Amino acid sequence: MNVHDSEKISGVLTEEGYSQAESIKDSDLVIFNTCSIRQKAEQKFFSDLGRIKALKRKRPDLKIAVAGCIAQQMGKGIFRRAPYVDFVFGPQNIHRIIDLVQGKSSGIANDDNPEVADTDLPVLRKKEGRAWVSIMYGCNNFCSYCIVPYTRGMERSRPSGKILKEIKGLSEEGFREVTLLGQNVNSYMSDMNFAGLLKGINSISGIERIRFVTSHPRDLSGELISAIAMLDKVCDHIHLPLQSGSDRILRLMNRGYTVLEYCRKVDSLRKSIPGISITTDIITGFPGEKEDDHMMTIKALKDIEFDGTFAFKFSPRQGTKAAAMDSQVDDNVKSVRLTEILQLQDCITIKLNKNLENSIQEVLVEGLSDTDKDTVTGRTRSNKIVNFKGNGDLKDKVLNVKILLARKHSLDGEIL
């Protein structure tokens, strides 16, 4: 999401005649696009920002901007903490960047912008072949640990006509794959719902693959599962954050489903879409999480067998309900639990990947491998990375590849 926001920031500036510098040394403007989902990201930003202070002292004409969720949340507070920052703007105010750069406004743009879903911004896409497309902004869910509803505002869906037009344009530019972005894509609702939107995109010629992140388990309807199953371009992968395997913790998190309800949806996905890969997010050490809650998460991971898990230690975010809850979990306990989760998931991932050995997979080639110039890298429809011998001419081609060897994070194959 943030990387795509950076593409929008670059798009607006490029349209106005600015261009990207080779390095910070050569630039007249440095923009930090920040994330505040966990404390670690926030700490890293402040240490990076501190380092730029020396450069600003040497070159007072250098402009420094802070964008993203920290900018949205701290607003003026950024100037107090770092007076050498020139301007600040949140994710809903990217369209105001030119006025800010040119000093035509007060230096701060972090108000809630209800128009965000109707504001078309030019996008300077970095990746060839694959493109991100925002379909909705914000989130209404208020999971008790999460800062997003406070930084990105309430949920707003982009009109379907704008999305379809953007994707038609992308197909004409040669993009083959689109990933639809939103905090909660499956609650998309404009003149059509998310299943309807997928149908519309599926009929755009030139687009071969459609992906989407992130889905909320509560909003995963039977209609949507059928749409994923029926529509040939919609890929066989869903990222469906479980967050915890304990119903008590899920309630405290305000997630709106039980483990059993979640598992039923997984069963339905696997029945309707054979071979679908399912990945998830887990938060470990949520306030009040006891050893038996953790063991329930371990059990859920064993029972469900996700293709991959992104696991995080709970990070208290100021202003959220969970940050103020009693019985915060000790950091060492969080670390131990996190390691257990990650080790278990590694075993499951390699086991599931091994099942793919000797199978034939449809791979969209993304380009040459970074480490070996005789090897290309691409992804299966189920979003697994496959490496195989080939040259740069194969880029953007969809090929059948035989899987020879499963590794933890990728598969080795050969072109058929």
**Residue with the two structure tokens 């679908």:** 276
Q: Residue 144, interface with ligand SF4 (CB under 6 A)?
A: no
CA dihedral 365, 276, 337, 406 (to 10 degrees): -50
Q: Which is nearer to ligand SF4, 202 or 254 (CB)?
A: 254
Phi (first) and psi of residue 184, to 5 degrees: -150, 65
Q: Which residues of 6-23 are buried (b: 16+ CB within 10 A; e: fewer)?
A: bbbbbbbbeeeebeeeee
Q: Residue 253, interface with ligand 5AD (CB under 6 A)?
A: no
Q: At closest approach, how far in Å is the CB of 92 from ligand 5AD?
A: 19
Q: Residue 157, interface with ligand SF4 (CB under 6 A)?
A: no
Q: Which residues 169-188 are close enough to bind ligand SF4 by CB under 6 A?
A: 183-184
Q: Residue 72, interface with ligand SF4 (CB under 6 A)?
A: no
Q: Residue 139, interface with ligand SF4 (CB under 6 A)?
A: yes
Please choose which of ligand 5AD, ligand SF4, none residue 92 contacts, taking the beta carbon within 5 to 8 angstroms, the exact cut-off set by kind. none
Q: Which is nearer to ligand 5AD, 257 or 312 (CB)?
A: 312
Q: Which is nearer to ligand SF4, 27 or 214 (CB)?
A: 214
Angle, helices 222-230/259-272, rounded to nearest 10 degrees: 30
Of 280, 339, 282, 267, the C-alpha closest to 307 is 280
The binding track of 315-334 with respect to ligand 5AD, each residue x by CB under 6 A or -, is x-x-----------------
Q: Give the CA radius of gyration of the chain.
A: 22
| Cβ contact 247:286 at 8 Å | no
Q: At closest approach, how far in Å is the CB of 139 from ligand SF4?
A: 3
Angle (CA) 293-295-298 rounded to 5° is 120
Q: Which is nearer to ligand 5AD, 135 or 401 (CB)?
A: 135
Joined together, the tokens standing for residue 384 give: 């697994």
Q: Residue 38, interface with ligand 5AD (CB under 6 A)?
A: yes
Please choose which of ligand SF4, ligand 5AD, none residue 315 contacts, taking the beta carbon within 5 to 8 angstroms, the exact cut-off set by kind. ligand 5AD
CA 384/CA 237 separation, integer angstroms = 9
| Cβ contact 140:170 at 8 Å | no
Q: How many residues does the chain have?
A: 416
How far is residue 288 from each of residues 3, 228, 315, measured CA to CA in Å?
34, 37, 13
**Contact with ligand SF4 (CB under 6 A) among 216, 265, 294, 337:** 216
Please choose which of ligand 5AD, ligand SF4, none residue 37 contacts, taking the beta carbon within 5 to 8 angstroms, the exact cut-off set by kind. ligand 5AD
Residue 147: other Cβ atoms inside 10 A: 23
CA 256/CA 250 separation, integer angstroms = 7
Q: Which is nearer to ligand 5AD, 45 or 312 (CB)?
A: 312
Q: Residue 142, interface with ligand SF4 (CB under 6 A)?
A: yes
Q: Which is nearer to ligand 5AD, 193 or 244 (CB)?
A: 244
Q: At closest approach, how far in Å is the CB of 219 from ligand 5AD?
A: 14
Joined together, the tokens standing for residue 347 give: 């075993």
Of 76, 84, 142, the C-alpha closest to 110 is 76
Q: Residue 146, interface with ligand SF4 (CB under 6 A)?
A: yes
Q: Residue 82, interface with ligand 5AD (CB under 6 A)?
A: no
Q: At closest approach, how far in Å is the CB of 227 from ligand SF4?
A: 21
Q: Residue 337, interface with ligand 5AD (CB under 6 A)?
A: no
Give residues in contact with ligand SF4 (CB under 6 A). 139, 141-143, 146, 148-149, 183-184, 216
Question: Residues interacting with ligand 5AD, by CB under 6 A?
Answer: 37-38, 145-146, 241, 243, 281, 283, 312, 314-315, 317
